[in-house]
Amino acid sequence: MSHTPSIFPRLCPFGLAALLVGGCGEAPVEPNVLPDPDAPRTTFYGEVAPLLADACGSCHAEGGVAPMTFDTYEDAVHWAPAIKAAVDNRTMPPFNVNNDGSCATYADARWLGEEEIARIDAWVAEGTPEGDASLGMPEPPAMPRLEGDNLMTLQGPADYLPATEGFSFAQSDDYQCFLVDPELGTDKFLTGYDVHPGNDAVVHHVIGFNVDLDREVLIPGQGLTTNRALIETLDAESPDVPGWDCYSAAGEGVMIEGVPVTWAPGAGATKFPKGTGIRLAEQEVMVLQVHYNLLEYDGRPDSTTVELQLSDEVEREARMLLADGFLMTLLEPEPATLPVGLPDAAYEWSMSMDELRTSQDLGDLDEVEVLGVLPHMHERGKTMSVEFGDARSCGARVDRWDFAWQQAYFLEDPIRTRVDEPMHVRCTFDTRDATEPVGPGFGTGDEMCLVGVYIAPPA
């Protein structure tokens, strides 16, 4: 399994505790002794260790963010049933979009091929044979880093102590937002970024939103306010704690300009497609949402930093366009809702990029290349499909949504489309436990059917 760092390197498969621990906490699986040393077998050191090192080694190692390690034969055998279940169900490695070629394929996809899954299945089925231990455990691939000039570091609080939110669906999690002003002095272009967790054991993901503090926001039933006022109110709710709770984006009600930073453990540095970058306006600040997984919290404070690579100019100015036809029904007299009691309540919307000109800057573009896609739903989300243009070119298909693992996915083959042709989006949600219709919104109990689209003028 090759590894070629580019835009989004292969992340580590750190599973949710419910998946990897549930049903796997019993006594370890004892290694089998091969009855016939000459029989062809799928062995750990021969076939499985290289795969685990490449796909799992960044997190499932001593000191990594995962709650278990796979970097020795004994550890891998202990967790063999969980590893098999995770790869068979494609819950691990974490990658929300389908990469089998039936829709699209993505740069550095954390996606195991069928042969690789079959290799793990065979190893477990054959009794987890060890093989030739002298081969050793390969080193995980080195993560890429930003290099060169024009680097800026955004410093989060140096003494934040994560604390669980108390949500029933996130009993071991903390979503905290911190406002950081890069003080750019002039417009710049973001061409890459890297995140350095202050506490590797608990930082599960980091998302950076660029926010205009003076942007007006319409709050249903309350009227107009500004991002600045909303953030001040949110921050004041916990005056002795840095930042504010923000399970939903940059905080409930806060309007964002884009999502230029999406990071999860093991990613290394992210570099946008060559020659492209996202404009960061002089007046904008960055709101960093840090998700802490506290399943094995060691009590140390966090001081995560985000490194930005900036440029004064780029060949093609890219934009992270955000659209959600479900959320936009909040502007209607009767917003859309999802019915209760369904395992796959569906919502579909179609909208052209041209229709978003009044709220988002498209310049004078008539045609664009779609270089990346960022799907987003909340906890009830199950599936999503995103298609572009009258030809309905498939840009993304989410077969099994996982809120815990969110990122942008960069297409290996960009999709060219006219901005006056529609995007077609379909989302499904599980509303079986809802007691009343589920509406759109930014809150924990609301839902979204949102798509971020990384676009640039055609090359």
The CATH number given to whatever domain includes residue 292 is 2.60.120.310
Co-location of 338 and 426 in the same domain: yes
7 occurs within a structural domain: no
What pLDDT is attached to residue 181? 94
Mark whether 343 and 302 lie in a shared domain.
no
Residue pLDDT, tens place only, 208-237: 999 999 999 888 788 899 999 999 999 999
- pLDDT for 66 equals 75
Of the candidates 250, 285, 314, which is a domain's last residue? 314
**3-state secondary structure string, the chain?**
CCCCCCCCCCCCCCCCHHHHCCCCCCCCCCCCCCCCCCCCCCCHHHHHHHHHHHHHCCCCCCCCCCCCCCCCHHHHHHCHHHHHHHHHCCCCCCCCECCCCCCCCECCCCCCCHHHHHHHHHHHHCCCCCCCHHHCCCCCCCCCCCCCCCEEEEECCCCECCCCCCECCECCEEEEEEEECCCCCCCEEEEEEEEECCCCCCEEEEEEEEECCCCEEEECCCEEEEHHHHHHHHHHCCCCCCCEECCCCCCCCCCCCEEEEEECCCCCCEECCCCEEEEECCCCEEEEEEEEECCCCCCCCECCEEEEEEECCCCEEEEEEEECCCHHHHHCCCCCCECCCCCCEEEEEEEEHHHHCCCCCCCCCCEEEEEEEEEECCCCEEEEEEEECCCCEEEEEECCCCCCCCCCEEEEEEEEEECCCEEEEEEEECCCCCCCCECECCCCCCECCEEEEEEECCC
Domain assignment present for 140: no
CATH number at residue 388: 2.60.120.230
Give this prediction's pTM.
0.76
Could you tell me which residue, 442 or 87, shows the higher pLDDT? Answer: 87
The better pLDDT of the pair 415, 319 is held by: 415
| 128 and 213 both lie in a single domain | no
Q: Are residues 76 and 37 in the same domain?
A: yes
**Pick from 254, 288, 314: which residue ends a domain?**
314
- 4 within domain boundaries: no
Mean pLDDT over 327-344 rounds to 94
Q: 33-92: per-residue pLDDT in tens? A: 444 555 568 999 999 999 999 888 877 877 666 778 888 899 999 999 999 999 999 988
Indicate whether 396 belongs to any domain.
Answer: yes
Claim to verify: residue 186 and residue 88 sit in the same structural domain: no
Residues 227 and 301 in one domain: yes
Where residue 20 falls among pLDDT bands split at 50, 70, 90?
very low
User: Do 191 and 265 belong together in one domain?
Assistant: yes
Say yes or no: 308 and 329 in one domain. Answer: no
Give a yes or no: residue 8 inside a domain.
Answer: no
Domain termination site, one of 253, 287, 314: 314
Q: What is the pLDDT of residue 421?
A: 96
The domain tally of the chain equals 3
Q: What percent of the chain has pLDDT over 70?
A: 87
pLDDT of residue 1: 31
More confident residue, 167 or 397: 397
What are 259-288's pLDDT values in tens digits? Answer: 889 887 766 788 899 999 999 999 999 999
Residues 294 and 385 in one domain: no
Q: Are residues 222 and 294 in the same domain?
A: yes
- 4 pLDDT above the threshold of 60: no
| Inside any domain, residue 143 | no
In-domain check, residue 11: no
Q: Which domain holds residue 292?
A: 151-314
Asked if the structure places residue 431 within a domain, the reply is yes
Both 389 and 279 in one domain: the answer is no
Same domain, 85 and 101: yes
